[in-house]
């Protein structure tokens, strides 16, 4: 436990000792904020138009739900930004240790591979949690000026957390297989994009295969969370995905030791 | 303390280390000598548990490097060829981190870090960020991380690389002072470093041990013959004939100087008996003058070259 905490702290401090953490958190908030503003502005405009139409035609007001029409797209946008930003956070975790030779320090210290993998994963996960927590300020603004339902907001954040940790676990894995950070980042983005797009492919193949494919889609499982539905099958999917990334990282580190790479 | 039995390490078909065996006693300093790609680093990596051996066994402090790697790791300090430094960290923070993962108790961590910095003379740069340090200081921080948990065994891969001459002397002195409490293996290309620092040498070439002994014995055994140059005053022909009667002298050659009564005589002997006192006694008893007596020792460098440049088939 002591080693795990030491490695996690060192990684976390290292993020904040370099511009990585500030740039990634800053740009994530900037883009999320920009799209939040655009989506909310659009929603407000729709509300005003609906209000005018209601008065003009003397008809019942249409049902415009801020959760469905504004918050849900905000979460979808955030999940896309995380796809591009989190690989920048995870790309250096092991590849930099390999490049600089510090992996020799970890591998010859009484630290297990599990401790170093989980320590690094936790550091990147904590950075992502800080990103998510900072983005909650937009929801607070909505709460001050509107009256959104809290349930879908919290379920959306739970979905974002699980989705983000899936990105982190495979980002970690790709950083174990190369000493080049760029290769690690590009491989992670490509891999995650594949598991995003796999759901779209399902509409072009026969329904049975399509159903199987959509079950592997990272974004299909996220959709329910954004709607405010917490289904255990989605939670189990993400936990399995995270576990698989960590397991492959473990195998990769072990095999690198045997191969002497 | 360290027992290596027939370890080999293959990369595909290439044997980086081929059936190496040697022992290191507690408190001893062992020099690991060999040309580039001889297998020194691979052997050190096997001993530090970084790499598993393909065949053979090795134990450190009684623990098998493969089966009980965590026990071995607690007992070794390792300085790889490239010091494993987190460039963005401050020296003190880095050493505290290393102390933590090496298992130093939290209460003793500060003292352990201060001691390691004191030994390697880096206390005055403790608050500096590592990436801003010179190569020599980085090397010393690397040495400090190997020492921070006061390990029983120190494995140092070229510890004086990048240091200036003054620092090299300091590091050699430090390594010597650590012997006794610590068992040390150090690899180097710098041959005088081995003679100055190590009690015993293992010379390795193309993955095999080609010699193992004290630096003195290696040079003595491999020298084959003793060569002695003396500066004398007196009838050179008489001196030469008198000296040639000494048992054990194989060849004798006179080089006359400008003065016919003074010159140098070069004597070669393959005898194991020390000929210098006999030569001196003969000259003095005959009333001749002895100005200088110089023994031409074979250097460790010659031994190293002789052993590592042999044809493959002749390597023992």
The percent of residues above 70 in pLDDT, for chain A, comes to 99
Cα–Cα distances in Å, from B203 out to B37, B187, B191? 13, 10, 11
Is there a contact between B30 and B199 (Cβ–Cβ < 8 Å)? yes
Which pLDDT score is estimated for B165?
83
Closest CA to B278 of B249, B236, B241, B255: B249
SS (H, E, C) A128-191: HHHHHHHHHHHHHHHHHHCCCCHHHHHHHHHHHHHHHHHHHHHHHHHHHCCCCHHHHHHHHHHH
Which pLDDT score is estimated for A40?
84
DSSP at B163? -
Average pLDDT score, chain B: 84
Which pLDDT score is estimated for B199?
82
Which pLDDT score is estimated for B315?
39
Cα–Cα distances in Å, from B128 out to A7, B98, B118, B164? 21, 17, 15, 20
| Residues of chain B found within 8 Å of residue A257, distances taken between Cβ atoms | 50-52
At what angle are helices B91-101 and B135-147 packed, to 10 degrees?
A: 30
Q: pLDDT band for B309, please (50, 70, 90 cuts).
A: low
B238 vs B254: CA distance, rounded Å: 11
Q: pLDDT band for B314, please (50, 70, 90 cuts).
A: very low
Which pLDDT score is estimated for B224?
60
| Residues of chain A found within 8 Å of residue B48, distances taken between Cβ atoms | 104, 108
Q: Coil, helix or strand for A3?
A: helix
Tokens of residue B204, six digits: 């390795």
| Closest chain B residue to A4, measured at CA | B101
Average pLDDT score, chain A: 88
Q: pLDDT band for A186, please (50, 70, 90 cuts).
A: very high
Mark yes or no for CB contact B102/A7 under 8 Å: no
B45-82 confidence digits (pLDDT tens): 999 999 898 999 999 888 998 888 899 999 999 999 88
B53 vs B164: CA distance, rounded Å: 35
B15-54 confidence digits (pLDDT tens): 888 888 988 888 888 888 888 788 888 999 999 999 898 9
Is there a contact between A170 and A192 (Cβ–Cβ < 8 Å)? yes
Q: CB distance from B97 to chain A under 8 Å?
A: yes
Which pLDDT score is estimated for B316?
37
| Closest chain A residue to B71, measured at CA | A110
Mark yes or no for CB contact A101/B82 under 8 Å: yes
Residue B5, strand partner residues: B57
Interface test with B, best of A258, A260, A261 (most B CBs within 10 A): A260
| Residues of chain B found within 8 Å of residue A13, distances taken between Cβ atoms | 89, 93
Q: What does the pLDDT average to over B117-133?
A: 90
Which pLDDT score is estimated for A201?
78
Which pLDDT score is estimated for B310?
55
| Residues of chain A found within 8 Å of residue B84, distances taken between Cβ atoms | 100-105
Q: What does the pLDDT average to over B107-126?
A: 90
Q: How many of the other CB atoms lie within 10 Å of CB of A112? A: 13
Q: Which of B50, B87, B98 sits opposite A104 (nearest CB)?
A: B50
| Residues of chain A found within 8 Å of residue B49, distances taken between Cβ atoms | 107-108
Tokens of residue A14, six digits: 């290292």
The percent of residues above 70 in pLDDT, for chain B, comes to 91
Q: How many of the other CB atoms lie within 10 Å of CB of B170? A: 16
Which pLDDT score is estimated for B99?
93
Which pLDDT score is estimated for B220?
67
Weakest-pLDDT range from A57-61, A93-97, A235-239, B116-120: A57-61
Which pLDDT score is estimated for A217?
83
A154-175 confidence digits (pLDDT tens): 999 999 999 999 999 999 999 9
pLDDT: is A186 or A217 the higher one? A186
Q: CB distance from B50 to chain A under 8 Å?
A: yes
Q: Coil, helix or strand for B234?
A: coil
Count contacts between A and B (CB, < 8 Å): 72
Which pLDDT score is estimated for B313?
40
Which pLDDT score is estimated for A131?
92
- Residues ≥6 apart with Cβ < 8 Å to B52: A257, A258, B46, B66
Q: Which of B50, B100, B145 sits opposite A2 (nearest CB)?
A: B100
B304 vs A33: CA distance, rounded Å: 68
Which pLDDT score is estimated for B300?
64
- Residues ≥6 apart with Cβ < 8 Å to B302: B219, B222
Closest CA to A62 of A48, A83, A74: A48
DSSP at B125? G
Interface test with B, best of A105, A120, A253, A255 (most B CBs within 10 A): A105
| Residues of chain B found within 8 Å of residue A100, distances taken between Cβ atoms | 82, 84-87
Tokens of residue B267, six digits: 């004597």
Which pLDDT score is estimated for B34?
82
**Alpha carbon of B138: minimum distance to chain A alpha carbons (Å):** 13
Q: Which of A102, A110, A112 sits opposite B102 (nearest CB)?
A: A110
Q: How big is the CA angle at B214 (ends B59 and B278), to the nearest 5 degrees?
A: 160
| Residues of chain B found within 8 Å of residue A112, distances taken between Cβ atoms | 70
Is there a contact between B157 and B185 (Cβ–Cβ < 8 Å)? no
Interface of A with B (CB under 8 A): 2-3, 6-7, 10, 13-14, 17-18, 100-112, 257-258, 260
Q: What does the pLDDT average to over A115-134?
A: 94
Full-model pTM: 0.80
Is there a contact between A85 and A167 (Cβ–Cβ < 8 Å)? no
Mark yes or no for CB contact B51/A6 under 8 Å: no
Specify the residue for token string 């993962």. B101
A53 vs A64: CA distance, rounded Å: 13
Which pLDDT score is estimated for B221?
65
Q: How many of the other CB atoms lie within 10 Å of CB of A5? A: 13
Write out the H or E segment, with its range, that includes residue B203.
strand B200-205
Which pLDDT score is estimated for A261?
59
Closest CA to A129 of A235, A209, A15, A38: A15
Q: Which residues of B287-308 are buried (b: 16+ CB within 10 A; e: fewer)?
A: ebebeebeeeebebeebbebbb
Q: CB distance from B103 to chain A under 8 Å?
A: yes
**Alpha carbon of A45: minimum distance to chain B alpha carbons (Å):** 49
Q: What does the pLDDT average to over A43-71?
A: 78
Which pLDDT score is estimated for B97?
94
User: Could you tell me the sign of the dihedral formed by the alpha carbons of B42, B46, B50, B53, in that order?
Assistant: positive
**Alpha carbon of B48: minimum distance to chain A alpha carbons (Å):** 6
- Residues ≥6 apart with Cβ < 8 Å to B228: B266, B267, B268, B269, B275, B276, B279, B293, B294, B295, B296
Q: pLDDT band for B225, please (50, 70, 90 cuts).
A: low
Is there a contact between A186 and A207 (Cβ–Cβ < 8 Å)? no
B144-179 confidence digits (pLDDT tens): 999 999 899 999 998 887 778 888 888 888 888 887
Closest CA to A132 of A70, A74, A69, A219: A74
Interface test with B, best of A19, A94, A109 (most B CBs within 10 A): A109
Mark yes or no for CB contact A260/B51 under 8 Å: yes
Write the DSSP string, A190-246: HHHHHHHHHHHHGGGS-HHHHHHHHHT-HHHHHHHHHHT---HHHHHHHHHHHHHHH
Which pLDDT score is estimated for A245?
94
Instruction: Judge whether residue A243 has pLDDT over 90.
Output: yes
Mark yes or no for CB contact A109/B73 under 8 Å: yes
Specify the residue for token string 């992996």. A103
Q: How many of the other CB atoms lie within 10 Å of CB of A122? A: 19
SS (H, E, C) A52-94: HHHHHHCCCCCCCCHHHHHHHHHHHHHHHHHHHHHHHHHCCCC
Which pLDDT score is estimated for A231?
87
Longest dimension (CA), chain A: 78
């Amino acid at each position: 436990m002591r080693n795990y905490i030491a490695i996690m702290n060192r990684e976390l401090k290292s993020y904040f000792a370099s511009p990585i953490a500030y740039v990634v958190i800053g740009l994530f908030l900037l883009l999320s904020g920009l799209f939040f503003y655009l989506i909310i502005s659009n929603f407000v405009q729709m509300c005003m138009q609906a209000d005018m139409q209601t008065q003009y035609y003397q008809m019942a007001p249409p049902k415009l739900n801020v959760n469905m029409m504004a918050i849900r797209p905000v979460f979808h946008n955030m999940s896309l930004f995380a796809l591009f930003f989190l690989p920048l956070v995870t790309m250096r975790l092991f590849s930099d240790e390999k490049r600089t030779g510090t992996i020799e320090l970890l591998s010859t210290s009484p630290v297990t591979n599990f401790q170093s993998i989980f320590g690094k994963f936790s550091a990147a996960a904590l950075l992502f949690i800080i990103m998510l927590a900072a983005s909650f300020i937009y929801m607070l603004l909505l709460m001050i000026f509107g009256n959104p339902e809290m349930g879908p907001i919290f379920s959306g954040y739970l979905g974002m957390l699980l989705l983000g940790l899936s990105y982190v676990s495979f980002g970690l894995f790709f950083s174990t297989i190369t000493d080049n950070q760029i290769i690690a980042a590009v491989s992670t983005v490509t891999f995650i994009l594949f598991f995003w797009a796999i759901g779209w492919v399902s509409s072009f193949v026969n329904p049975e295969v399509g159903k199987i494919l959509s079950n592997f889609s990272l974004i299909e499982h996220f959709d329910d969370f954004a709607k405010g539905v917490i289904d255990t099958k989605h939670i189990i999917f993400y936990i399995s995905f995270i576990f698989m990334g960590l397991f492959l990282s473990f195998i990769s580190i072990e095999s690198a030791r045997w191969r002497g790479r | 303390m360290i027992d290596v039995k027939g370890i080999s390490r293959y990369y595909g078909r290439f044997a980086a280390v081929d059936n190496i065996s040697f022992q290191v006693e507690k408190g001893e300093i062992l020099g690991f000598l060999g040309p580039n790609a001889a297998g020194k680093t691979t052997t050190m990596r096997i001993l530090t548990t970084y790499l598993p051996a393909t065949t053979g066994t090795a134990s450190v402090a009684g623990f098998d490097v493969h089966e009980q790697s965590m026990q071995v790791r607690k007992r070794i300090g390792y300085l790889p060829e490239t010091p494993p430094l987190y460039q963005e960290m401050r020296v003190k923070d880095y050493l505290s981190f290393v102390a933590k993962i090496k298992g130093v108790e939290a209460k003793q961590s500060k003292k352990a870090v201060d001691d390691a910095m004191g030994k390697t003379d880096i206390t005055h740069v403790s608050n500096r960020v590592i990436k801003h340090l010179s190569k020599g200081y980085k090397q010393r921080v690397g040495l400090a991380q190997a020492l921070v948990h006061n390990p029983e065994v120190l494995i140092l891969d070229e510890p004086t690389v990048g240091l200036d001459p003054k620092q090299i002397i300091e590091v050699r002195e430090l390594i010597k002072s650590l012997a006794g409490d610590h068992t040390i293996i150090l690899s180097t290309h710098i041959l005088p470093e081995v003679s100055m620092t190590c009690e015993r040498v293992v010379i390795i070439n193309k993955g095999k041990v080609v010699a193992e002994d004290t630096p003195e014995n290696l040079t003595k055994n491999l020298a084959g013959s003793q060569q002695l140059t003396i500066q004398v005053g007196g009838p050179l022909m008489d001196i030469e004939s008198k000296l040639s009667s000494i048992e054990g002298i194989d060849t004798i050659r006179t080089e006359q100087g400008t003065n016919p009564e003074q010159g140098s005589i070069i004597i070669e002997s393959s005898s194991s008996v020390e000929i210098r006192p006999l030569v001196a006694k003969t000259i003095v008893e005959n009333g001749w003058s002895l100005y200088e007596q110089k023994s031409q020792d074979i250097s460790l460098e010659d031994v190293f070259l002789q052993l590592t440049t042999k044809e493959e088939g002749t390597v023992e």
